[in-house]
């Protein structure tokens, strides 16, 4: 009887551990488009300009390279607070019909929209005020074999 109780307890412990392991694996799986947004913030925090630019579409790359719109020396810190895929289809629809998607030919299948909350601090006047922001990031790919890249973001 004592052996049977030990066997049952052992089975329960092993089953519980296996289930917890599966749920952790599922939680850690992120969509590649989301990973690009997370890298965008990581590279910005590191002030790694080339890697930061590499997370963007060609059009966005040109903006950063040609206009130098970012004051990297004033950035003190940036922290990604949350990132969630936007479920409201109107954001996709707006991008595809009235936004950059109407110009670059992106399809709904090749577009992900993320609602991102972040906090940014500057040690001098920067391109925006220090504070907490909620912006939407539009991440696209040319086709199913292409990488996901940020094509637009803002309020």
- Tell me the backbone φ, ψ of residue 152, rounded to 5 degrees: -165, 155
Q: What distance in Å separates the CA atoms of residue 23 and residue 26, rounded to the nearest whole number?
A: 5
- Tell me the backbone φ, ψ of residue 85, rounded to 5 degrees: -65, 130
pLDDT tens digits for range 100-132? 999 999 999 999 999 999 999 999 887 889 999
pLDDT tens digits for range 2-32? 555 544 443 444 444 444 444 444 456 899 9
SS3 state of residue 84: strand
> Minimal CA–CA distance to 139: which of 42, 76, 69, 56?
56
- Cα 82 from chain centroid (whole Å): 9
pLDDT tens digits for range 24-60? 444 568 999 999 999 999 999 999 988 999 999 988 8
């Amino acid at each position: 009887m004592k052996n049977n109780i030990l066997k049952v307890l052992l089975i329960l412990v092993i089953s519980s551990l296996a289930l917890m392991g599966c749920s952790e694996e599922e939680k850690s799986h992120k969509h590649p488009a989301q990973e690009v947004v997370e890298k965008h913030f990581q590279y910005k925090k590191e002030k790694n300009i080339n890697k930061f630019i590499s997370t963007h579409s060609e059009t966005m790359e040109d903006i950063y390279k040609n206009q130098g719109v970012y004051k990297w020396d004033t950035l003190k810190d940036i922290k990604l607070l949350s990132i969630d895929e936007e479920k409201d289809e109107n954001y996709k629809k707006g991008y595809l019909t009235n936004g950059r998607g109407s110009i670059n030919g992106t399809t709904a299948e090749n577009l992900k929209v993320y609602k991102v909350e972040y906090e940014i601090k500057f040690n001098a006047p920067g391109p925006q005020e220090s504070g907490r922001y909620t912006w939407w990031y539009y991440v696209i790919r040319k086709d199913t074999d292409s990488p996901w890249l940020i094509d637009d973001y803002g309020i």
